[in-house]
Structures are given as C-alpha cells and as structure tokens.
Amino acid sequence: MLVTAGATREPLDPVRYLGNRSSGRMGFALAAAAREAGAEVVLVTGPAALATPRGVERVEVERAEQMHEAVMARIEGADLFIGAAAVADYRPAQEAPEKIKKGSGPLTLTLEPTPDILRAVAARRPRPFVVGFAAETTDLLEHARAKLRDKGLDLVAANRVGPGRGLEVERNSLEVLAAEGEPVSLPEQPKEDLARALIALVAERLEAGGRA
C-alpha cells in the first residue's frame, strides 16, 4: 500500500510558501491502520510533526511536484493507493530568489497548476485500487461524486472542512462513495478509529473483486 499524507508547501520566496491547514493526522492514521491489518506500507508525506507509525516506510517531501515524483517512483506493484494528502492545486509560477519586500501597493502573484497525483495513479495500466479524499466546504456529495468520476477513482472519502471541522482536529467523519450504490457514512470519531473503519471498508471492496 502507498499512502500520501499532510500538506505540501509551494515556495514563494526563501521565507514564505503557499500551504494549507492539513496536519497529516488522517494519512498517518491510515498508514498505521493498514500496517496493523498486515499491509506493507509506504507513507509519502509533506512536512508533518507526527511520529512515523511502527513498521511503516516514511518518505518526506515538501512540494507537490516532489510528492508526485516520490509516488510515481514507488507505485509499481502497489495493490492500494490512498491519496490522503492535501496537495496544493497551484504553485507560484516563479519563486523569488530573495525575500519579497513589502511595498506600498498590492502584490500580484501568477499561479500555475501542480501535477495531479490522483489522476496520474488512476490512469496507470495496470493500476492499484485508488482511494481519494475530498475535503469540501459546500455541496459535499456533489463535489465528491464529480471527483470520483473525473479522476477515475474507485472510492472517494469526503468530509466537510471549516472552522473546527476536518483540519487541525483529532476527530472527523467521512462519507465514502463508489461509482455505484449509496454513500457509506462513517460517523464522527477519533481519526485513528476512523482510519481503521476506512481500511476495513477498502479491504471489503478488494476482497469483493477490486474495482468498485
């Protein structure tokens, strides 16, 4: 199994970066739960102040492009891929070589898209069973279904985010969607328990024949 976790950081200058609020806790919990279930696990993570789960191989990266490279270099032969990382969708088109000084007027940034890791893994032939995450502030199921379809995923685990929800908290809930059937609701609980429940659900899908 290969799992991604945490946030990526896209440098703006030697001091600043574009990032997000992901702590990496869910991805680390998934790696631990999968190892408990008997899987060989590689964890590719952005900067995260979390201990490596016992028996898990940890690969540290910073930027989205580095995470993409690390995943693609290790995906061969994987049976399962879970993309739990909050990967930056955009990066500065240019990284300033020196610290950008504050001026008297506005500062305009030009952003360019980063590599789409989930789409790249799902497009492989042969490919692993692919699980993505959708963190949304509105229209949770609608956006999750669109992500499932557009990126060719087998499952998508969706959760609402906002103040005190989803990010930088110890508890969460998930709606797990497949191409067919109704969403499976995993109620709010500690992320460690939520990870075990999601790994068990994925294992059931794999035992039932792989593709959802």
Cα separation of 91 and 111, whole Å?
Answer: 5
For the chain, how are helix, strand and coil distributed in percent, rounded to 5?
25, 25, 45
What are the angstrom distances between the C-alpha of 162 and each of 42, 106, 136? Answer: 29, 27, 8
Does 172 participate in catalysis according to the annotation? no
Residue linked to tokens 């191409």:
179
Whole-angstrom CA distances from 2 to 45, 56, 118, 148 are 11, 10, 12, 19
Closest Cα partner for 80 from 205, 192, 181? 205
**Of 16, 18, 20, 120, which is the active-site residue?**
20
- Residue 24 to residue 28: CA distance in whole angstroms: 6
CB 36 within 8 A of CB 24: no
Q: Six-digit token pair at 128?
A: 């692993």
User: Which letter does DSSP use for residue 55 in this model?
Assistant: T
Amino acid identity at 211: R
Kindly state the DSSP code that residue 52 receives in the 8-state scheme. Answer: P
Active site residues per annotation: 20
